[in-house]
Amino acid sequence: MNLDNLARIDLNLLVILQVLLEEQSVTRAANRLHVSQSALSKSLHRLRESLGDPLFIRTAHGLKPTAHAMQLSQKLPSMLHGLYQLTQPPGFVPAASTRQFSFAMVESAYETLLPYFIGPILNNAPNLKLDTYGWIESSMTGLQKGQIDFGISGRDLHSQSALQIDNLPAGIAHKTLFTDHQICLVRENHPIIAVVASGRWDMQVYLEMFHVQVRCEGNEWWALDYHLADLGHRRQLSTTVSDFYGAASVCAHSDLIFTLPSSFARHARKFYPLVELDLPFEFMPLAYVLLWHERNNEEPGHKWIRETICKNVAEAFSHVDD
C-alpha cells in the first residue's frame, strides 16, 4: 500500500461516493448530505480526477454508475464501516453509550418479539438511540451496505422458497430466535367451524376455501404454497394484503380463511373476533431469525445487542412447544 498516494485523497469523498451510489441522483445526494448541488458536483469532479474514472453517466433517469463504480460499490460499504469503527471508543459500556443502532423487522416481530428485548436493551443502555423500520425487499441490501445494523425476519424452511435460510446473501450472518408453526383463523360463527366440529376438517376442505394472504418481501407465495404445489395442489388466494393486521381484519369481516404463524394469531385475536383452527395437515415450522452482517461479528456494541436479544427471546419462548 502506497500511503503517500492515499494521503493525497480526501477520504470524505468516499462518503460522498457511497451516497451517490445509493441515491444515483445529485439532487437527492446533496439533500441527504446537507450540501448544495454545486458543492456536490465539485466533489464529484474531484472524485473523477482522483479515481481516474467518470464513475457516473447522466441519463434521463438520473446517474448510471460505470463498471468501475459498480466494482467500488461492492467494496466501499465494508471499507467505510471499518473507518467508522476506527473512530469509536474501545469496548462498549452499555450504561454510558450514546450510539445509534437501526433495526428492520417484519411486522409480526413488533408484537411477538420486540416486547421481550426492547426493555432489557434500554434499561441497561438508556442513552442508546434505536431506529426501527419495517422489513421490505431492500432491507437485506441495507444490511449488506451497512445502512441497517440488524434485521429480524421470518425465514422458511422449505427448500424451494425464496425466503429460506440457506438463500441468505453472502456476508449475512444469522441466529434462529425461535420456530413457529402455522395455524388458521376464521371469523366467529364461520360455517367451517361446524365442519371442524364434525371431524370433516382435512386438506381437501381447506383447499376448497378462499384465502387471504400477506405479501412478504414482494412474494405472494409462502413456503406453504410451495409445499402444496409439490403435492399438486394450490390454494385459492382471493385477497392479498401487505400486513398481518390487514389480513386479520379482512378475515374477521368475510368468509376468507387466514393461515399465519401461531405467535401472531394470539395478538390478532385480541383485536378481532376470530377463531383459531389447527392446520388440517402436517407442515414444517417457520424460523424467526436475527440477521446482521458478518463484519460486525466481533464489534462490541453489535455483539452486546445480539446477545441481549437472543438471551431474552430464548427465555420468553422457553415454555413454548415448537
Tell me: the pLDDT tens digits for 152-164? Answer: 988 765 554 444 5
CB-based burial label for 100 (10 Å; 0-12, 13-18, 19+): exposed
Residue-level pLDDT at 292: 96
Q: In terms of residues, how long is the chain? A: 322
pLDDT score, position 322: 43
d(CA 135, CA 139): 6
| 317, 123, 266, 103 alpha-carbon torsion, rounded to 10° | -90
pLDDT, tens digit (0-9, with 9 covering 90-100), for 80-119: 877 877 776 667 899 999 999 999 998 888 888 999 999 9
Pick the CATH number of 182-284 from 3.40.50.1980, 3.40.50.1820, 3.80.10.10, 3.40.190.10: 3.40.190.10
Contact 133, 104 (CB under 8 A): yes
Q: Which of 156, 178, 180, 175 has the alpha carbon at shortest distance from 318?
A: 178
Residue 117 grid coordinates: 428485548
CA dist list (Å): 139 to 134, 135, 148, 208: 9, 6, 7, 36
**Each residue of 248-265: pLDDT tens digit?**
999 999 999 999 999 899
**Residues 6+ away with beta carbon under 8 Å from 283:** 181, 182, 224, 227
Is 3-86's fold the same as 182-284's? no
- Give the integer Cα–Cα distance in Å for 70 and 76: 10
Strands 56-59 and 62-65: antiparallel
d(CA 254, CA 274): 11
Q: How far apart are CA 176 and CA 110, in angstroms?
A: 17
Q: What is the pLDDT along the chain (322 residues), one digit of tens a residue?
A: 555 666 667 888 999 999 999 999 999 999 999 999 999 999 999 999 988 999 999 998 889 999 999 999 988 988 887 787 777 666 789 999 999 999 999 888 888 899 999 999 999 999 999 999 988 888 988 999 888 999 998 876 555 444 455 678 888 999 999 888 999 999 999 999 999 999 999 999 999 999 999 987 667 788 889 889 999 999 999 999 988 999 999 999 999 999 999 989 988 999 999 999 999 999 988 889 999 999 999 899 999 999 999 999 999 887 654 4
- For residues 174 and 165, the answer to whether their CB atoms sit within 8 Å is yes
Identify the three-state secondary structure at position 46. helix
3-86, what's its fold?
Arc Repressor Mutant, subunit A (1.10.10)
| Domain boundaries along the sequence of the chain | 3-86, 100-173+288-316, 182-284
pLDDT of residue 161: 45
Tell me the C-alpha distance between 114 and 263, whole Å: 13
The grid coordinates of residue 61 equal 433517469
251 touches 277 (CB < 8 A): no
Fold of 100-173+288-316: D-Maltodextrin-Binding Protein; domain 2 (3.40.190)
Q: Are 215 and 163 in contact (CB under 8 A)?
A: no
| Tens-digit pLDDT profile for residues 279-289 | 999 998 888 99
The angle, 0 to 180 degrees and rounded to 10, between the axes of the packed helices 12-23 and 37-51 is: 110
Q: Which pLDDT score is estimated for 247?
A: 95
Helix (H) or strand (E) run with residue 237 in it: strand 236-241
